[in-house]
Amino acid sequence: MSPLRLTGLTKRYAGTAVVDGLDLEIAPGRCHGLLGPNGAGKTTTLRLALGLIEADAGEIALLGHPMPCGAALARRKVGVVPQADSLDPDFSVRENLLTYGRYFGIPKAELERRIPALLEFAGLAGKAEALAPSLSGGMKRRLTLARALINDPRLLILDEPTTGLDPQARHLVWRGLRRLIAQGKTLLLTTHFMEEAERLCDRISIIDHGRIIAEGSPRGLIETHIEPHVVEVFGEGIAGLHNWADRHCDRWEQAGESLFCYTHDHLALTAELDRMGSPRYLHRPASLEDVFLKLTGRDLRD
């Protein structure tokens, strides 16, 4: 059974569809990434999936329960890591876990039994009595992750789990998430870090304007949607290279002072650039970010 299935999901605000006929089915025991620019409808989709808001159309099955009417039942076995810090500032690390566990109706003795392993998992074993506001940003995020695991969920929903963290802290969160995937938990995460999606997710849905515009494995998306090589050419003279690019690249884009050349044959292209001797360039394999930018455009979303 799919832990989450969304069919024709639609949500409108003031006549504008923020989620617009969205279909999504996530596979058990996998990590599914929801990628999209700001305002694409990621967070709204998660809130709909959790039964927090009502859809205008479409169907939602969360762990087999229709939403929102089955919300209380389904959410017993779902863990949520929200985007904003919502730890209890008056409580210690341990009290945060204990209090949150009580919202699931889990007896105190059972919670006391679960907490040491969760602290260990979050790398907070020595911090049990520390007050939440005294923790670093990375520790807070790991505590939020531990808190989401207090009910031993089958599905973990994470809304931008590493936004605002430094690289060290981010890697530590990723390590935790990989352990959970290895334990067989299903993860659904939104992110706009391509690297995060590429490293963690088996399957990725790219969402824009409330719709899934592409779906597949990270590698599959790159293979399907984009040429395998990118040569970025920098410099002031690149505006004069458009004709040249038409001849030598499969596809190209100019963004500011960079020309992005997409090609199957990077050797020929770089040889050509070397022969011209002028511009600086960088060759790299195509990444998920290239797919993302191709599909959602380079315009700023605010």
Partner 1 sequence: MGWLAVWQRNFRVWKKLAGPSILGNLADPLLYMLGLGYGLGQFLGEVQGVPYLTFLAAGTLAYSVMNSATFETLYSAFSRMHVQKTWEAILNTPLTLNDVLMGEWLWAASKSLLSGVAILVVIWALGLYEDFALSLLLLPVILLTGLCFSGMGLMVNAKSPNYDFFLYYFTLVITPMILLAGVFYPTNALPAWLAVVADWLPLTHAIQLARPLVLGQLPEAAFWHGSVLLAYGVAGYAIGLRWTRRRLLR
Minimum CB–partner distance for residue 54 and partner 1 (Å):
8
Q: Per the structure block, which two tokens stand in for 294?
A: 């191709």
Sequence-separated (6 or more) residues with CB below 8 Å from residue 149: 79, 118, 121, 156, 180
Minimum CB–partner distance for residue 132 and partner 1 (Å):
10
E-state strands within the chain: 4-13, 16-26, 31-35, 57-62, 65-66, 78-81, 155-159, 186-191, 203-208, 211-216, 229-234, 251-255, 258-263, 280-285
Please answer whether residues 280 and 185 qualify as being in contact, where contact means their C-beta atoms are separated by less than 8 angstroms: no
Query: Cβ closer to partner 1: 73 or 271?
Result: 73
Minimum CB–partner distance for residue 62 and partner 1 (Å):
12
Q: Per the structure block, which two tokens stand in for 285?
A: 């394999």
Give me the count of residues in the chain: 302
Minimum CB–partner distance for residue 206 and partner 1 (Å):
25
Query: Cβ closer to partner 1: 20 or 227?
Result: 20
Query: Cβ closer to partner 1: 85 or 265?
Result: 85
Minimum CB–partner distance for residue 211 and partner 1 (Å):
21
Q: What is the 3-state secondary structure (H, E, C) of 148-160?
A: HCCCCCCEEEEEC
The SS3 of residue 51 is coil
Query: Cβ closer to partner 1: 56 or 232?
Result: 56
Query: Cβ closer to partner 1: 44 or 191?
Result: 44
Give the residues lining the site for partner 1 (CB under 8 A).
Answer: 50, 52-53, 71-73, 75-76, 78, 80, 82, 84-91, 95, 99-100, 102-105, 151
